[in-house]
Amino acid sequence: MYPAMNGLYSEGPYRPSMSQGTVVHSHRFQEKDFTVATPEEFVRRFQGTKPINKVNKIIVANNNKCTYKIENHIGTWQDRAVRFVVMVTPEDLKANAEYIKMADHYVPVPGGSNNNNYANVELIVDIAVRTQVQAVWAGWGHASENPKLPELLHRAGVVFIGPPEKAMWALGDKIASSIVAQTADIPTLPWSGSDLKAQYNSKKIKISSELFGKGCVSTPEQGLQAANKIGFPVMIKASEGGGGKGIRKVENPDDFGNMFRQVQAEVPGSPIFVMKLAKSARHLEVQLLADQYGAAVRLAKMVGYVSAGTVEYLYEQATGAYYFLELNPRLQVEHPCTEMVADVNLPAAQLQIAMGLPLYQIKDIRLLYGESPWGMSQINFDEPKQRPSPWGHVIAARITSENPDEGFKPSSGTVQELNFRSSKNVWGYFSVAASGGLHEFADSQFGHCFSWGETREQARENLVIALKELSIRGDFRTTVEYLITLLETPAFQENYIDTSWLDALIAERVQSEKPDVMLGVICGSILIADSIITTHFQEFKSALEKGQIQASGQLSNCVEVELIHSGHKYRLHATKSGPTSYFLAMNGSFKELEVMKMVMTLMAPEAGKVTWTLRPGAVLDMGALIGTLELDDPSLVTTAQPYKGQFPLEDNPQLSEKLNHAHNKYRAILENTLSGYCLPEPYNTPRLREVVEKFMQSLRDPSLPLLELQELYIYEGSYDKCVMALRDRYKDDMQAVANIIFSHNQVAKKNLLALRIIQFDYLRGQIQASGQLSNCVEVELIHSGHKYRLHATKSGPTSYFLAMNGSFKELEVHKLTDGGTLLSMDGASYTTYLKDEVDKYRIVIGNQTVVFEKEKDPSKLRAPSAGKLINTLVEDGGHVDKGQPYAEIEVMKMVMTLMAPEAGKVTWTLRPGAVLDMGALIGTLELDDPSLVTTAQPYKGQFPLEDNPQLSEKLNHAHNKYRAILENTLSGYCLPEPYNTPRLREVVEKFMQSLRDPSLPLLELQEVLSSTSGRIPVAVEKKVRKLMALYERNITSVLAQFPSQQIASVIDHHAASLPKRADRDVFFMSTQALVLLVQRYRNGIRGRMKAAVHDLLKQYYQVESNFQLGSYDKCVMALRDRYKDDMQAVANIIFSHNQVAKKNLLVTLLIDHLWSNEPGLTDELAATLNELTSLHRAEHSRVALRERQALTWYMHVHICIIVANRMMPMYTLNTSCIVST
């Protein structure tokens, strides 16, 4: 069946409305829906004239969120009673636009700007005819206000859901509608056609082309003359513009020409007029709805207007005067506001009007005027029986991909997450979803939120709450945070706002609430460091899976981070200190953390001479170089101060001791140099001299085996045949094959052969450059002129150690499934996201955003967004001043002006018309005075003095913390010096103290019982608790022993009493934790301590024993063979081995502690110590020596004990004799 509108209403004082979010009073008629079988029957029943029947298809000639809106709103009728055909560009498909998913059929159309697709009237009509649709709905924007569209559709026999062409032109054109308004004696603001009126004889009004032309200005000179007559400030407006496009405010005559050209560029071919700027006025919009039978207001009747329209007025509060501004011959963008206060489904009403229904036969209209929904009586709209009154208040918020911190610059990109929580009073819709995006030709507005309340304040509060819960993560910034700030300003709360209010806030640089800078520095450095370290681990694992052996230096947990903010450069050291923690150090302090479509004008950054690299019309990517600027005075440019220190004095990696390995290394350096991989001066020349000398020495050395006999294989046939023969000969040693071919390469002097060899699958096993595996990263962040330099070290699988200027922090870091990171530090947690952009890092903390700059080179003029270069405002080789406009680019259908960052001479690398990627180089700028460039100052402060999270007062929790630190260290998550050694000494001491404390087993037993209570038999629990209480009472006695054997007896006795095996299995399962605790203390507290040390030493040996088989490469190949299906395990072992020097310190500390405090060894511990003495590589010599010394000492002690025991009976006998005597 085909219901005319929604279904039954619920009981109660309120019922849900058509507008999805508001509620309306129940005094409206509560009748069942009237149902019909077909659209034809619906039209006949309600006196329509144009049934959209048979195929029942409508083309939606749009791609913005209005497409989603009509599909959603008319979709409340019977499913597929009306089918939707949409137009889709390649960019929309790539962006995964949401409206495509809701359509019944899509038609591919050309990509690019909208004149190729959604604004191409001929294309829309052609598609309508080819797809045999009955109607076209254009929404707003694109071709929605082009009178040619309804005209051509009418000729083709297709219904246009909107006004007829003549009415659309008369009221839709801003110039024509102002003349119509003046003819109807409706006040207008002073403009270039203020005195114009048309002839009107109670029939439809007609605007002649001659009259229309008198209101236009066709040249900048003519426009300036009109502006001088009107008086500045004025607005230059394109009559076919809208939505912020084709409109510019001009404050003085000097800017008029440039602004006029921008309006022309944004709306090419559109007539232009000049209007007086109204200051301190309120902007009002009135939604019109007119049928085909004259039911309309006077202004619409004058031109025979039909369907929905929007009249815009300006209201001067000081004088109480109203002025007609314009009429948009389409549905209002904010029309859901009307829907929610009037409870009228406007897209559905438009469709019914297009079907020929009179207004009084539309259900929602009848209900609005208090009539029976299915009645046939006519309504006198001029003098109705019941005048409509709005229910409540609605506030709308447009969600756009614009950056409020950069003059609302629009940007395109992908969306990773979009989560909006609708409620009964707040509703929203979006044209994109997660995994979708916005392309450079899309509208920057992609979402709309509407909040209803019984009062304006309730609506405002509801919207603020909804926006704070709105989560959008993508490649672009949005206006959400700024909207929250606007809604919470006193002026908005008290409704003291006008058209100049927002401009004043922007001029005052009012910004949305930002997170604390230092919190941003900490979170940003951790996110950057974690991204680098994770990438290194993934690359290393991927190389292993491919059979490539990489040096272990890549696996590191330390990262240095630099952040620049407000002229300060912050340098921090971040160390991942555990699976979920980080240690952050800066300037001697530290922290520990748990890490669970507009036209934009570009201003010259400095004064100088511009050289264009792109020409107008070029499409721009973010950061694209538009041109260069030869600065007038480079010394005036402010730049961040460079760090004058040096790298720490560390030994450079030495070449292999084997001559053939050294020879290959030298040859690789020379070949890389010839391939273009050269070092900068002053490093290149001395290194080349040294390498050439050593390379020639290796060739002259008679001990260098060039495998000349094996080279004979190369000449037995073609290269491929010979290599295949070598592969068959050395099946288990692909390195040998590589060595033979490398040797042949030197003899034949074919320097590019090595590159070809790498490409063969059977030559995998190539050794990559060292230094790739590392857990330490240096990060620089710039914010507000400060450069923060941090060192981040991954101190565990989920922990980081962050150092900055001698201070540090430790954090827990947990990766979230949505790509975010949960950081925990100082007793607080933060949900964070990182976006690495061309020129900045964007860090989202909660629902707040902080932006850190990257080091910028003002001599490079780059595109801030993807788009197209329209025009260069300076000749190639010309000069620009700082802040002077040097180019115009088109971004998301708007023109943006680029300003010179410094003064200088511009050289263009791109020409007008070039398509730009973000960050594309448009041109270069030869600075007038490079010394004037402002640089960020290094941040010399430390982390804030906040209390670090204290370990739990319970000894067992502290013990677990210490053990985790030691296990992480043995896994390779070591801190950098000078933090590593003192911390290890402290942790080992506290770890051993906790093991000697007799209260540790008691606390562990209490924790186990608290989790198993109620799951084990009551009798068993009572007996165990009794033994626990007895031990607790005697815990201070030196004779007290933890009752592990007694507890084990209780468990065994109860298990023996269970006759069924199934019952015994369940019992042992429920007491598993208790059994494990008993086993740990089966040899008492001292035995538990030795077992704990044994476990740590065994962990060390299990890793290091893998590297005793020969060369590093051979050891890694053996690991690959052992862990064929788990390359992550191989990477973890290599990562741990990479920190062997720091692990050696821990092992020796543990042995020294046993040596000085424990007189004996268990068998397991002695066996492990013996195993450690077998480590024969030089890097293990310190540990092996200490193990031998310990074993020797323990052997002496053991011998002394044996001798004493043997002498004891003799001593006793002698004593007895003496006593008896």
What are φ and ψ of residue 341, in 5° steps? -95, -20
Cis peptide before 187 (omega within 30 of 0): no
Our CA angle for 79, 85, 91, nearest 5°, is: 125
What separation in angstroms does the CA of 401 have from each of 472, 480, 1105? Answer: 10, 9, 56
Render 863-925 in DSSP notation, one character per residue: -SSSEEEEEESS-TT-EEETT-EEEEEEETTEEEEEE-SB-EEEEESS-BT-EEEEEEEEEEE
- Distance between CA atoms of residues 521 and 28, nearest Å: 57
The full 3-state SS of 265-299, as one line of letters, equals HHCCCCCEEEEECCCCEEEEEEEEEECCCCCCCHH
What separation in angstroms does the CA of 952 have from each of 37, 949, 961? Answer: 72, 9, 9
Judged by phi (left if over 0) then psi (alpha if -120 to 50, else beta), residue 876 lies in beta
What are φ and ψ of residue 803, in 5° steps? -120, 140
Query: What is the distance, to the nearest Å, from the Cα of residue 1198 to the centroid of all Cα atoms in its chain?
Result: 63
- Of the chain, the end-to-end C-alpha distance in Å amounts to 123
Please give the structure tokens belonging to residue 651: 């030994």
Q: Exposed/middle/buried for 257, CB within 10 Å: 0-12, 13-18, 19+?
A: middle
Spell out the long-range contacts of 102-109 with Cβ–Cβ below 8 A and sequence spacing 24 or more. 102/68, 102/71, 102/72, 102/75, 103/60, 103/71, 104/57, 104/80, 105/57, 105/131, 107/131
Q: Which of 513, 517, 535 is nearest to 525 (CA)?
A: 517
For residue 485, give every residue at least 6 positions away whose Cβ sits within 8 Å of its Cβ, in sequence order, or none.
Answer: 510, 511, 512, 513
- Distance between CA atoms of residues 975 and 557, nearest Å: 8
- Cβ(36)–Cβ(42) under 8 Å? yes
Please give the structure tokens belonging to residue 623: 């950061």
Q: Which of 335, 392, 360, 310 is nearest to 369 (CA)?
A: 360
Hey, how many other C-beta atoms are within 10 angstroms of the C-beta on 685?
A: 10
Our CA angle for 607, 612, 617, nearest 5°, is: 125
Q: Which of 461, 466, 578 is nearest to 972 (CA)?
A: 578
Q: Which residues are catalytic?
A: 330
Q: Which residues is 556 bridged to in the sheet?
A: 775
- Distance between CA atoms of residues 76 and 95, nearest Å: 26
What separation in angstroms does the CA of 119 have from each of 147, 148, 412, 891? Answer: 12, 11, 20, 17
- Cβ(62)–Cβ(141) under 8 Å? yes
For residue 233, give every residue at least 6 positions away whose Cβ sits within 8 Å of its Cβ, in sequence order, or none.
Answer: 249, 250, 251, 277, 279
Judged by phi (left if over 0) then psi (alpha if -120 to 50, else beta), residue 980 lies in alpha
The full 3-state SS of 652-709, as one line of letters, equals CCCCCCCHHHHHHHHHHHHHHHHCCCCCCCCCHHHHHHHHHHHHHHHHHCCCCCCCHH
- Cβ(782)–Cβ(521) under 8 Å? no
What separation in angstroms does the CA of 1128 have from each of 55, 544, 545, 927, 1115? Answer: 58, 9, 9, 50, 16
